[in-house]
Structure 1
Amino acid sequence: MTVVAVGKGPRVGFRYIQTALLFFAIVCAYFSRINVGIAIVAMTNADSTNPDFHEFQWSNAEKQLIISSFYWGYALTQLPGGYLALKFGSRLTALISILGSSILSMVTPVSVLSGEWQAFMAIRILQGLFQGMIFPSMYGHLAKWAPKNERTLHGALANSGIECGTVFAMGVSGLIAASDIGWPGISYVSGGFGLVWAVLWFIFGESSPQTSKFISEEERKYIESTQLEDDQNLKKLPTPWAAIFTSVPFLALLCVRCTQAWGFSTMMSETPLYMNEVLKFDIKKNALFSALPYLAMWIMSYIYVFLSELLIKKEVMSLSLMRKTFSSIASIIPAIAFIGLGFVDDAHAAIAVTLIVINVGVNSSNTIGSALNALDLAPNFSSVLMGIINGIANIIPIITPIVVAGIVGEEEDDRSKWQIVFAISAAIFLIGNTVYCFFGKTDVQPWNAPKDSDDKEKNETKEKNSD
């Protein structure tokens, strides 16, 4: 391949608009995905929120099924989403993903009032089916739009929408539920936010710089020049399925993403219930304190972005060492916090909140540590890799609420049961990180641009020239 020397390029350009749109897409997705934890508390305990709205009498098992049901659909469309993004472009797949999910949010209140928890489960499954396409679309979009030397920066900025969306879901949802619009307002606000994003994306979103109407010629050439070395973004390469599933670095990445999913889903989905039952927080305090860790996570995500850029520019660390260091931070410290949390009761609620903040806030380094590793391994197939990873990793959030329900049962205020839940999460964190540190890599893999495809292309070029 031809190596093209490039400078720093345009400091500000339309690629940053694309990253901002991806950021807000993730905010929309997480707002509507995670608000279920607060919504269920409000819907089943009218005394803790606005009592003017209907209260449902759901068992803990039914509540856990509602929480996990989103991921039933979410896991199914990850790989198809990656394939569709590769075939039809990220603009269309991302639009369908957020638009479909937002419409379902808008119809949730009336559906649940008539169909109870079964209707809630059905809507959550459908939302998962739509949202399953968003991350494969995002990674495919980043591979096209982010210059090679800026992928960590743009990827981390876009992924910080996870923390922002979670803050909105955890913090704003409780306030909405306690307001005049009650728990139905949670669905209306999150759905409306998604509809606004869909309009902006339809206008400004574009699958690649080559098809964009707004990008400058200077910026387009800069992005293309940084991708000529090892990427073939505009060429239709066959997906190397066998090479992907036998790649040790990819399997190590898959392992750590699954273990991260276990720890994060345990903290994300079960924190409102733990705070309500064990720490005895009411819905307003529950929402605010549930959001606090994710506010810390959001802030820390930008600190990690700054540190990663500094470490790379100053050549303090190689990309591989940086990824593994940040992954270890995201696993070891949260594992310790999980263990400590299991020994804190409502008499020491401040310590519990501090441990939760440390757990979630520090864990945001996993984005730079491992989440962006798919872009390192194979930029051409990053949407497919994320489809596989998210498809498998998001089976985990289906399992964790079922495991929690099996361990805790109806004794939701029994701290000893939660100790077991948190100890399991800590062990899983450590196992996944160990595998990644030993076997993970950041080198572009040979199957990113298969040799036979290159040879075939060269032969076709020679034939055309000879004609």
Structure 2
Amino acid sequence: MTAEINKGPALGQRHVQAFLLFLSIVCNYMAKFNVGVAVVAMTDSENTNPDFPEYDWNEMERSYILSSFFWGYIMTQFLGGWLCRRYGARITMFISTIGSALLILLPPVCVSWGGWEAYCVIRVCQGLFQGLLFPCIHAHLANWCPVNERNRLGALANTGIDCGTLVAMFVSGQLAASSMGWPGIFYISSVFGIVWCVVWLIFGANTPRECKFISEAELNYIETSINANRKEEEVKEKSRIPVPWRAIWTSVPFWALMIVRCCQSWGYSTLQTEMPAYMNGVLLMDMKSNAIYSALPYLTSWVMAFVYLIVCDILLTRNIMSLTGIRKTVNTLALWIPAFALIGIGFLDSNQKTLAIVLMCADVGINAGSTIGSTINTIDLSPNHAGILMGIVNTAANVIPILTPLLVGIIVKDNHDRVQWQIVFIISAVVFFVGNLVYILFGQMTNQPWDAADFLDKTQTTKLQEEGQQAKAIEASENASKTSDNNVEKTETS
């Protein structure tokens, strides 16, 4: 009979760390995606509090604002992975969040004299800070998640994406229509980020061994589970494990992950940034209704994230499906069903608001499965290099949100033209479909050989051995040639 494993308290520090990661994503996503509602409020005072300034920005200028965050965001993904390896997630995530939280205070002050250009500069700087975040989150999960709880804790942390977007959409719309007006959107987002930073400095810890609040039983359980009984000096040694860049960039499973994350980013970012404009222009909803109904899909997504989490946890713990089967099945549901729903949305108008909202809720809600389906695949491929992998993948995936608002700005010349929006949604649907197909064919959910700490040493040893064997073979060939030449000379002399 198998002895019961002592996992420590039912609600342990690994759960606290996952919850803190969840909150970090929520507050950063509030600062990141409140722009969708803020831009609508700042350019249409009739549907919000009219006591605050209104700006006459055209569609292209609004598109620049929506995409500008990602100009900075893609620049610091690698830096985030490096800083996390060098200094740990605790300080790096603090810098990332506090920088973003302080910058979000600036638009109400700066836009009045700097216009949309000033807002773009602020958003670029926000992106620079937030680019450090996700590589740290994945590295932190790799340090804290027991192998059999990786799905559960990783998915729990990443539900912050849906919750943060939900809060950004709903609260931003309510604030814009309140006595605080659209400036309140920025002030509340900033306060939430600053409060999180204080809590994180108290309870955040880079590893279980560095945590002041963890029990001995939970510490042993986590370290034994992930086969990493690291003392302090061993933890430091991990930061010196060389990154096998060539092996990573030539890895087919890694490329499959990067492609599917880019395709996921295309469809999701289109919905995140453009939904308020679509609902205002095509469905003719006012700001308050717009905010409520823009938030509904993300409420559905947040709920569905837990549904996926519970179902997948049961399938995995009861050995009903393998991890590979779960990831690919869930990711297929998460991308292919929304692909068809997106096409359907484009054919609806203001007379079919209810159906449009239902389809948007289904679209975003079902897409929540992509977290379990592919987002945390970085940890499957390489726990040792999870932060670096996330830095690469997130850099590539977040080039996409730079392009999608600009593409919308090119295609959608009239915000009320349903046909123009149809083109936008059909393109996103095709991208969703193709990306998941690549992941089904080439994705893997197992540790890759290049994850090993001594991978480069073994590769170098093998290379030297091969070179030695080649040198011996050449030497033997030369000796044989010399012997043959000597025999010929002796024959001729005779």
Fold similarity call, TM over 0.5: yes
In the alignment, which residue of structure 2 is the partner of 1:431? 434
Distance 2:139 2:23 in 1: 16
In the alignment, which residue of structure 1 is the partner of 2:477? none
**SS of residue in 2 equivalent to 1:85:** helix
2:250 aligned to 207, 230, 246, which one? 246
CA displacement 1:51-102 (0-9 Å, x = unmatched): 0000011111000000000000011111111111111100011000110000
2:346 aligned to 329, 342, 346, which one? 342
In the alignment, which residue of structure 2 is the partner of 1:165? 164
Give the superposed CA RMSD: 1.6
In the alignment, which residue of structure 2 is the partner of 1:94? 93
- Structure 1 residue 149: Cα displacement: 1.2
Q: State the AA in 2 paired with 1:426.
A: A
More divergent stretch after superposition (105-114 vs 390-399)? 105-114
CA contact (8 A) 2:6 2:217 kept: no
Q: State the AA in 2 paired with 1:38.
A: V
- Structure 1 residue 107: Cα displacement: 2.1
- Structure 1 residue 314: Cα displacement: 1.4
The answer as to 2:263 corresponding to 1:259 is yes
Distance 2:353 2:359 in 1: 10
**SS of residue in 2 equivalent to 1:290:** helix
Q: State the AA in 2 paired with 1:155.
A: G
2:296 aligned to 285, 292, 299, which one? 292
Query: When the two structures are superposed, what TM-score results if normalisation uses the length of structure 1?
Result: 0.94
CA contact (8 A) 1:233 1:380 kept: no
In the alignment, which residue of structure 1 is the partner of 2:27? 28
In the alignment, which residue of structure 2 is the partner of 1:197? 196
The answer as to 2:425 corresponding to 1:422 is yes
The answer as to 2:287 corresponding to 1:283 is yes
**SS of residue in 1 equivalent to 2:106:** helix
Residues 395 and 15 of structure 1: is their aligned pair in 2 closer, same or farther, counting only changes over 3 Å? same
- Structure 1 residue 285: Cα displacement: 0.4
CA displacement 1:309-330 (0-9 Å, x = unmatched): 0000111110001000010001
Query: When the two structures are superposed, what TM-score results if normalisation uses the length of structure 2?
Result: 0.89
Q: State the AA in 1 paired with 2:418.
A: R
In the alignment, which residue of structure 1 is the partner of 2:5? 7
CA displacement 1:366-395 (0-9 Å, x = unmatched): 000000100100001100000000011100
Once the two structures are superposed, the pairs formed by residues 431-450 of structure 1 within 5 Å of their partners are 431-450=434-453
Distance 2:273 2:26 in 1: 17
CA displacement 1:285-307 (0-9 Å, x = unmatched): 00000000000000000011101
Once the two structures are superposed, the pairs formed by residues 88-167 of structure 1 within 5 Å of their partners are 88-167=87-166
**SS of residue in 1 equivalent to 2:148:** helix
Once the two structures are superposed, the pairs formed by residues 315-464 of structure 1 within 5 Å of their partners are 315-409=319-413, 411-452=414-455
Q: State the AA in 2 paired with 1:147.
A: P
Distance 1:47 1:378 in 2: 52
CA contact (8 A) 1:90 1:141 kept: yes
- Structure 1 residue 242: Cα displacement: 0.6
Q: State the AA in 2 paired with 1:175.
A: Q
In structure 1, runs of 5+ residues without a counterpart are 457-467
Residues 217 and 114 of structure 1: is their aligned pair in 2 closer, same or farther, counting only changes over 3 Å? same
After TM superposition, the runs of 4+ consecutive aligned structure 1 residues lying more than 3 A away are: 229-234, 450-456
In the alignment, which residue of structure 2 is the partner of 1:227? 226
CA contact (8 A) 2:298 2:361 kept: yes
Q: State the AA in 1 paired with 2:20.
A: L
Distance 2:458 2:357 in 1: 58
In the alignment, which residue of structure 2 is the partner of 1:64? 63
- Structure 1 residue 233: Cα displacement: 5.9
CA displacement 1:382-438 (0-9 Å, x = unmatched): 0000000001110000000111111112x1111111111000000000000000000
CA contact (8 A) 2:37 2:169 kept: yes
